[in-house]
């Protein structure tokens, strides 16, 4: 009987230490990862490795690199950049009744942040991610992602 109690106690201590170790690793990662201010944010569409739009927080500029292919039912070209509202509107891949839905991304030069403020998807997870200053934002099934760059120089070996 004593052997069983000692084994349970060891198991509880081992599980407790494991939780403390994992919790400490999580806290340390959150404190150290993405600590630097973002210099740029790149917005990607689909599986492209080239950004469709780049937001330069140091120069406070937004640059569009190419237009999205848009169905003939739309009269506008995408992405649309509104510098007054500080928004970028893209056409996502998620469809409702055969119509592709828009994704609106808001940026803030002062806070060096990006936030998806409007989108349609089954659970609207993208717009619930909140404002990000370094964490990537991924909007599925619209196939739009935002990645941050902390400095202008790339480290290459």
* pLDDT per residue as tens digits for the range 80-107: 999 999 999 999 999 999 999 999 999 9
Q: Summarize the confidence of residues 14-26 as an average pLDDT.
A: 87
Considering the domain architecture, whether residues 70 and 144 belong to the same structural domain is answered as: yes
Residue 80 tokens read as 């649309």
Q: How far is CA 116 from CA 63, 75, 80, 90, 91, in A?
A: 18, 23, 14, 11, 13
- How would residue 2 be classed by pLDDT, with cut points 50, 70 and 90? low
Percent of the chain with pLDDT over 70: 89
Domain membership of residue 103 (yes or no) is: yes
Domain membership of residue 156 (yes or no) is: no
Considering the domain architecture, whether residues 10 and 75 belong to the same structural domain is answered as: no
Q: Give 119's contacts (C-beta < 8 A, 6+ positions apart).
A: 92, 94, 101, 102, 103, 104, 126, 127, 139, 142
- How would residue 50 be classed by pLDDT, with cut points 50, 70 and 90? very high
Considering the domain architecture, whether residues 28 and 67 belong to the same structural domain is answered as: no
Considering the domain architecture, whether residues 64 and 9 belong to the same structural domain is answered as: no
Q: What angle do CA 94, 146, 86 make, to 5 degrees?
A: 90
Considering the domain architecture, whether residues 119 and 48 belong to the same structural domain is answered as: yes
Considering the domain architecture, whether residues 23 and 45 belong to the same structural domain is answered as: no
Considering the domain architecture, whether residues 120 and 48 belong to the same structural domain is answered as: yes
- Domain containing 12 equals 1-33
If one counts the domains in the chain, the total is 2
| Position 157 pLDDT exceeds 70 | no
Domain membership of residue 111 (yes or no) is: yes
- How would residue 55 be classed by pLDDT, with cut points 50, 70 and 90? very high
Domain membership of residue 145 (yes or no) is: yes
Q: Tell me if 18 sits within 8 A of 117, measured CB to CB.
A: no
Helical ranges in 1-144 per DSSP H: 2-32, 125-128
Q: Give 106's contacts (C-beta < 8 A, 6+ positions apart).
A: 85, 86, 87, 114, 115, 116, 117
Q: Summarize the confidence of residues 52-75 as an average pLDDT.
A: 94
- How would residue 33 be classed by pLDDT, with cut points 50, 70 and 90? low
Considering the domain architecture, whether residues 77 and 12 belong to the same structural domain is answered as: no
Considering the domain architecture, whether residues 78 and 2 belong to the same structural domain is answered as: no
Considering the domain architecture, whether residues 55 and 103 belong to the same structural domain is answered as: yes
- How would residue 42 be classed by pLDDT, with cut points 50, 70 and 90? very high
- How would residue 150 be classed by pLDDT, with cut points 50, 70 and 90? confident
Q: Tell me if 57 sits within 8 A of 148, measured CB to CB.
A: no
């Amino acid at each position: 009987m004593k052997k069983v109690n000692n084994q349970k106690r060891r198991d509880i201590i081992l599980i407790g230490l494991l939780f403390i170790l994992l919790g400490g690793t999580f806290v340390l990662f959150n404190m150290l990862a993405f600590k630097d201010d973002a210099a740029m944010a790149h917005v990607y569409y689909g599986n492209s490795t080239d950004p469709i739009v780049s937001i330069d927080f140091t120069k406070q500029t937004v640059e569009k690199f190419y237009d999205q292919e848009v169905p003939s039912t739309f009269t506008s070209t995408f992405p649309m950049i509104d510098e007054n509202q500080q928004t970028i509107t893209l056409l996502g891949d998620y469809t409702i009744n055969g119509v592709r839905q828009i994704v609106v991304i808001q940026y803030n030069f002062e806070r060096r942040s990006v936030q998806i403020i409007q989108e349609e998807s089954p659970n609207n997870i993208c717009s619930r991610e909140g404002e990000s200053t370094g964490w990537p934002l991924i909007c599925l099934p619209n196939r739009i992602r935002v990645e941050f760059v902390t400095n202008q120089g790339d480290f290459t070996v």
